[in-house]
Structure 1
Amino acid sequence: MKRLKLVMAFVMLALGISAYGQVTEAPEWKAEIRDKSFDAGDTITVKFTAKIPDKWYLYSSDFNPDLGPTVTEFQFDENPEFKVIDSVVPVGAKRKYDEIFEGEYTYFTKEAVFKQKIEIQGKDPVINAVVSYQICSDENGQCIPFTSEIPVTGIKQNSTGEKNEELEVREMQAFQNNFRSGNEQKEGVSFLISFFLVSFGAGLAAILTPCVFPMIPMTVSYFTKSGSNRKKGIFQALLYGISIIVIYTMVGTLFSVLFGAAFANFLSTHWIPNLLFFAVFVLFALSFFGLFEIRLPNSLINKMDKQSNKGGLIGIFFMAFTLVLVGFSCTGPIVGTILLQAAGGEMLKPLVGMLGFSLAFALPFTLFAIFPNWLRSLPKSGGWLNTVKVTLGFLELALALKFLSIVDQVYHWDFLSRDLFLILWIVIFSFLGLYLLGKITFPHEEKRSSISIGRMISALLVFSFVIYLIPGLLGAPLKGLAGYLPPMSSQEFNISKLTASSSISRNEKENIAECGVPKYDNLLEIPHGIHGYLDYEQALKCAKKKNKPLFIDFTGHGCVNCREMEARVWSDPKVLKRLKEDYVVVALYVDEKKELPESEWYVSPNDNWIKKTIGAQNLDFMIQKLNANAQPYYTLVDNDGSLLSAPKAYDLNVDRFVDFLDNGLKRYKSQNDQGISL
């Protein structure tokens, strides 16, 4: 079988060779050196780069040549003026398992980068390199071998030691685009599955609201009376459920298409939408408490209802539309919360969220329409539905504070500290517990003479949550809620912070003496006493001075997952030790609204918008260099700004994060051991 696969591979190679004329030209190679001045005996590093045509890739040099594809090889003329030391080292190559050759190989897309250590032994040596390699395209099945000559010029002895500043700037920003690993993609799929399940649970919760639950028997009666044909009834019920899913998923689709990454960042961090969301959530909470009722215009609902009476497929669709509109007053906050959670720059999340919600929401209507006898087992509508509604009101009130907290953090208003936030939550959930115990009643309710088992158990859970919150007032991290609470730095009273202040002060002085005071340290911070930087260029210079790799944390004030990663992963001693000792850490906030001096503004080639703020420039840097815009996003680079490993996104597995840090450090040390100039 393996022989057959190898034959197929060579056939593909032959086809590629025969189609040689269809490829424009061989990739363009360049040889660059940072220092063009030297003394005899010095060692220089030559950087070879090749531009790769779109939709093609170039095989690297660091995989088993017996695997099948042509390994990139460099050969140098024998010359007493110089000596080649060790083998050429690829920088930032991707890895992939090939099913045809049954093995793992490395490759480059867009740009290939190799570095070679060379010892200068004579005066003004002329170095010529010949590189043999192969480029392939999966779209047309072509693989084409090439051989290119690359002269290394401009080396002179006893010069003033000036450096090629243009090259240095280019190397500082030499991130490779679209550097993604299969492991990272799996993590993304896993996260979407989790988000789908959460949205599915929200859909089930929406069914229990008083706006939706009474609609189940009404809907089922429509299908049972519409005809005696059992098959037709099942078909109509399935179509009804599919229509509900389509309507909600269309909302997610429109949200994705109309509102891209820039709008998602605006939506999740700007004061206008967040204060609006705060007001809307408070408004819904008051409505759930019975102060007033929120309803869509009757004219709109009546129009949809008339369309549903027409019958046929269109009638069933509009009947589903009517259900969505009638249930809006209860499902609106839940749907809005899902879409806001998805507002992190990822196009798939709103679709996945709405699909999960609508699937759970449509399921009971469809099943009860197919099996109408199940209706007898349903509890009758009554006071329990009002209890669900009031409980949702308390939850809406608690969630409203999150939007107010985001505004407070992003704009540094400093009025909603962590302590005050926790106090408000303790009060809100205490009132919820008292309500469930019947100690508090609303004007539209009757006072209860007894408490059901369900309400008693719910009250116990709520008061347990309140007790869990109380230690947070003394500085307990409350890791389970890290994403929703203000940062620990806003805590006015923190016992652990007070006891650690002296040692932190000494470490900070040592760090400042070596690399200078971090820019923006009066506005931004890095958690857990990590003394890092908040500006990429400053951090890169410090990494060069300390001879350490750079850990880049793309984060944000309003990033729930970022806070959760910091509380549950970064706080682990194994991770914290590596971040403090092995790396220079830089936190790039993508939602910081601090406006920079006009001299630092620029127009982004990505969207042609002027980038004026710290956050806008950090987000633009992330999109341009990594083709990513979701946070958190962790990136490891060497002193040239070249990636050491595939970036890592949200992942609460501590061991995987430790491996991520260790692998990056190992690759960095490997480059140093081989004499690669960083």
Structure 2
Amino acid sequence: MTRFSLALLALGLSALASAPAAAQDNEAKASLYTRIEGDRASAALILRVTPGWYVYHTELGHPDAIGTPLQLDLSSEGIEWGEFVWPAPHVKQIDDDLLGKYTYNYHVGKIIAYATGKVTTPGAANDAQVHLVGQTCTDLTGVCVPYEETTTSDGGGREKYWAGWPESLGAVASAAVIEPSSVPPTANPQPPGRPLALGPPNRVAPTSNVSGTLWARADEASESVRAVIQLEVAEHYHIYHGPTTEDLGHPEAIGTPTSVTFESEDVEWDSARMRMPTPERVDQGIPAHEGGGNIWINTHHGTVWIEVEGLLYDTFDPTDVIAQVKGQVCDDNGCQNWALTLEVSGTGPDEAFAWESAVQAGPDAGEGGADDESRPSLFKFLLAAVGWGIFTLLMPCTYPMIPITISFFTKQADARDGDVLPLSITYGVGIVSVFILIGLVFAPVIIPFATHPITNIVIGVLFLFFSLVLFGFIQLQPPRRMMEVAGKASATGGYLGVFMMGATLVVTSFTCTAPFVGTLLGSAATGQGTGQDVLRIVLGMGVFGLTMATPFVFLSLVPGKIKQMPQAGEWMNTLKVFLGFVEVAASLKFISNADIVWNWGILGRDVFLAAWCVIFAAAGIYLLMQVKKSGKANPRQSGIGVMTILLAGYFGYGVPGNALDEFVTTPLLPPYVVFESASPNKAAHPIIKDDWQAAMTRAQAEGKLVLVNFTGFT
């Protein structure tokens, strides 16, 4: 963290610096194996650290080293254990202007430590337990998180775990108690569960209805493993999609999903996100209790592919991998549970690892593709359009149009005896139509314009200007020219006048709408100009325009009522000042976009969050002070003030590098950035920009991994 961000945080909410961090996911995983022979006991502790992370040694080394050393407590009934013996740690040298020079000891990858014990109670159970407490860190983002884990012995373990037993501990306990290292493969199904109500209840499917083959490939450079399972389902039979019941399809679907679990010591498998081909939807012929219609379920038949990826902690040993695949197989007469135990049958053919491409290119492939997956779903896209529309309505860009709209439709209502509904609808349609027209006609110009760093700086400065207006330092009046246009429109009357009013509103609010328009059109910029891309633009701009138009249509329907409302009092001034704080925060976002593109390094993530922490804390405190100043209870305003302060605390929590929710991190905050620095909180790795070959050549020469950063700025 930079000194500047520390200063900002101290000014805003200094108490947050001392607040305890919330629980984080462990970036290390421990396994314990123990053996007992006579009065001797042996323990092997395997600690696997997530690639890209490291854990501090049991001794930091230098007295000035900063970090939490690893502490262990090994215990079991009837055994007195000695200290663990660890392999030699790596040593990191730090030379920092602020913290000075020091070194610290750490471990990466897979580490095995050994301990010996004395059996004090004959017949002691082999149930040792170890409790570990320490700290794991990564130089990629400069983040450190606490590590704490308790694990129980898994028995004697495999012989290879004891290969590094140090001579200083004497002889290792006998390996006679080692559990079998593998499970013979079998294609026999599990005992039949309760069949589905789709056929005779005593139907039992033959064991040959599902068979499988497992292949695995490791890429030790990227520390990853891919496993592909090819299932063959007999003709006229089908299995169900997986791995969870939610993947079955209909909430009331009846069936057992297909799932996979792996047994492997040196690979952490992500079975929960296994991939299967697009399923076939089948009607189960049973009326649904809710929603009407019949229950349906996702099925597969014929050749079915399953792919699972994993993180590799050590040299890959395919003989160490065993997959348990289970599910339910059915035909028109009934269903039965099945299970397969598969061992790796080699690296497999290339076609097996390209099954997704083959399926997508097949005759049953859908119209979607990778480009569709790279863009947000249509629902999320339209939801974002509504959000931007609401946000724009809160901005001062639209304020001048409120009195103009009321004045215009008051005159129209007087001239038409209050019948302004057709004009109001036309007014809304005009606003929506102009936004759609902008999207379709000016897309090639707006995309680079709205995302250019200069545009972001201009918008950021404008937001700062608007915040000064809301704070009351500057008085903003509608431009004379705009008033003249509105006056001519009012004088013209009719549908032409309404259209000019709608166009005036769009032009007035363009400063605030440009960010959304650029984002919207950018989402279709990677397309091929297809009808689907055009449809997304039309729908997005239409929903955005509709959100903008709705309140103005309402104002146009009841202009007299609006004029008769009480004049704005202190509450409006309070709202304006609060929105001024929001505008300051928004301005930093756009200035940050330019900072990222031009690589200034001024508004990094920590500085940005610290600034937002201060801004929203000030906004919340202002609301509470206004309540106190009025001398009257205002639960709503007090609640908003407290929530705003809590939001400031949330941003402050992210300043030291703690992870925040993706909803906030992705659209609003600058990303984690890796700088060239000797600071322990920043990566000191060489950074090679826009030269893939040079980076690979250097990495191979130095025996290091390459982190590829595909950067998108705004």
Query: TM-score range with shorter-chain normalisation?
Result: 0.3 to 0.5
TM-score, length basis structure 2? 0.41
TM-score, length basis structure 1? 0.43
Structure having the higher Rg: 2
Q: Which has the higher helix share?
A: 1
